[in-house]
Chain A
């Protein structure tokens, strides 16, 4: 079973609107959680990274939250733009020394005019 579950699988939003993506994980012990944006045919680009003690972190119009007690995270996109169309991947790292990452399946976001 995947240790990182994302929802929804995909969503379509109108340009200018907000949306929130969800990530639940079971990775333990937990080190950090990252959100990546992956454009089609490109490698993932980091948006935010949060450790156990961080509850929220922003990067421009992207705001990530983390509840380490319930093992949930969200990524909020404000005032969406056409360039936000991409796959958003939640990635969780445990505390093993190899730095192995556990990937969610991603949420495919399509922003329409």
Chain B
């Protein structure tokens, strides 16, 4: 089956620093990747849609200058949380859309970000 990995699985950082999260599709090429944020006991909220070689499309209310997304290859997308603050602490999950299986999205294991 399709496998999506994320790195790191968890990160703790100081307020004001930047954090980069990687999302990789391991056994398929994904022209489209998605970034989600999930707060405790809530469902996933789409932050942005990332297409390889083009600028990401951000959902309403998501600051594109704060959450930088780069999709430089068909297997890698990165999310950089710039100048992180405690309110950015959350569970960040990426997904990659497979070219088969009704374009099903396969989710990564998530990255737990804690900003002190």
User: For the complex, what is the distance from the CA of A101 to the CA of B35, rounded to whole Å?
Assistant: 12
Contact of B81 with A by CB under 8 A? no
**Which residues in B have their C-beta under 8 angstroms from that of A42?**
109-110
Partner of B102, one of A32, A36, A106: A32
CB atoms of A44 and B107 under 8 A apart: yes
Q: How large is the interface on B (under 10, 10 to 19, 20 to 34, 35 or more residues)?
A: 20 to 34
Within 8 A of B (CB), among A38-59: 41-46, 49, 51
Question: A-contacting residues of B (Cβ < 8 Å)?
Answer: 4, 6, 32, 41-46, 49, 57, 91, 93, 95, 97, 101-110, 112
For B97, the closest partner residue in chain A by CB is: A99
Chain B interface helix/strand/loop/mixed: strand
User: For the complex, what is the distance from the CA of A103 to the CA of B41, rounded to whole Å?
Assistant: 13
Kindly provide the distance from the CB of B23 to the nearest chain A CB, expressed in whole angstroms: 10
CB atoms of A44 and B103 under 8 A apart: no
Question: B-contacting residues of A (Cβ < 8 Å)?
Answer: 31-32, 34, 36, 41-46, 49, 51, 89, 98-101, 103-106, 108
Partner of A43, one of B41, B45, B109: B109
Partner of B106, one of A46, A89, A100: A46
**Which residues in A have their C-beta under 8 angstroms from that of B102?**
31-32, 49, 51
CB atoms of B46 and A98 under 8 A apart: no
Kindly provide the distance from the CB of B60 to the nearest chain A CB, expressed in whole angstroms: 13
Kindly provide the distance from the CB of B6 to the nearest chain A CB, expressed in whole angstroms: 8
